[in-house]
Structure 1
Amino acid sequence: MLSSLPTNWSKTCALWIHEIHVAFDPPTPVEPGKGGLLRLMRWSTPRVATLVALSFTLHCTRPPATAPDAASRPMGIQASEGQVYMEEGVASWYGGEDDGFAGRPTASGEVFDPEQYTCAHRTLPLGSFVEVENLSNRKRTVLRVNDRGPFVKGRMLDLSKRGAEDLGFAGHGTARVRLRTVDAMGVPTTLNAAAEKADPYVVQVASLSDPKNVETLTRELENAFGTVTLQAAATREGKPVKRVRVGSYTSREEAEKAAEEIAKHLKDRGVEPFITRQR
């Protein structure tokens, strides 16, 4: 049945108009208002039919409405990017000649090379790739997360020297950036669920160099919140410290709740706990 339907609507509408004229064309023209009601109807009927047919013709030959192309659509997060991790904040960089980080092991175990495209993030799984955009100049680069940090209040990301140079803020120290998770080719992607589960969240409370202070804080936190772990680290000057951490949480929500409780417990100590990973 579908194959018998006309495909040229303009031609079909024209034929319909012709048929309407043939069906209603009166034998002799009659002036309106003369000859009675029947003659008036015979005079007006074909003209009304013609107007209706013309209106239908215009409707049939009107170009079909089309969906807007990609260029005219409003920009935003697409449905396929619904689970892509995005974050905006302040980025710094490390690996300068005098900060002492070059050649040290990172959280992933590899040696830190300031000339590689790597970065440190507190919670993204090690090995993740992120596209980072400098919001002041719109420069972008793709980096691999191989370290933890930054452990400075108000900062979100620590880039290698090479990454900071590509983004144009190596001479400024910090920049406001936006990041999103991508694959090795720079295509937006979701977080690796297996990597998420393999590296639980912890709440880092403090980094202390005095062994007595480490012991006192550890005992207090164990009594109030349970398991406490210590991670050996070093400051920029090379001074050894212990990072005091609480718990092992499978979800970010659990870790955030614990961090709030710890902050309330230590509110008079000037301590600001933050969430990171065991590795």
Structure 2
Amino acid sequence: MIAAVLTACATTVREPGPARPPGEPVDGPPDSALDVSRIRPVVPRPEPRSAYGNHSPYTVLGQTYRVRASASGYSERGLASWYGTKFHGRLTSSGEPYDMHQLTAAHRTLPLPTFAEVRHLENGRSIIVRVNDRGPFHPDRIIDLSWAAAVKLGIDQAGTGPVEVRAITFDEPAVPAVRPARLPVLLQVGAFADRQRADDVARTLSRQGLGPVLTEPARSAGDRVWRVRIGPLENLEEVLRRVEQVSELGYERPQYVYP
């Protein structure tokens, strides 16, 4: 639940730390047993990436994480944990409300959303979840399940369990590389009302070697907007390569702007 860190959407960071402050609610299961009628079946299907939660890289507790360019081929074994009532109804990193009665999960680096099969390595149970959140930030865990998913998998009582997580992906049609109408051209990665957000995106692009990067103000409908642009670029191959690199970082495909 780190949308406050990644997208300024949520208010809580789920992280390991010292003893709970006075008055801080304790996470755990609801008072009633799981009502299976409330669980919507998870049917894997191609989905566009969330507008939130895919910013890369991002840093939590001094550790920097990079969102994977694709979930294809991802498979990992390790410990699963779960989260429940403390976060129920709060926004996930993808901007969707967390519903502990649905089969969802949090992962540090898979693109949001991603469908994944989670198999318990001891009891043999297997479920499919939709990854729509970031976490867990305990170094010994690889996935954080919703309470419903933990019950279905059989780790709700123990709190953690050994699992294998395998991403479910689809054959995605190649997006044709649209050529600019003319050169030179600028690639506009985004326009932001928040100057700090614009600067953060510009620094990320510069660190990835995608410069020169420009952050410049523009006035739109009377409001100050900060535009982040790459260029100007005069080589066609470089333009098309930069477009793909920006997309691999989790941003929307940039727009062509002509100086």
TM-score, normalised to structure 1, is: 0.37
Higher relative contact order (CA 8 A, sep 6+): 2
Q: In terms of Rg, which structure is larger?
A: 1
TM-score, normalised to structure 2, is: 0.39
The answer to which structure has the higher strand fraction is 2
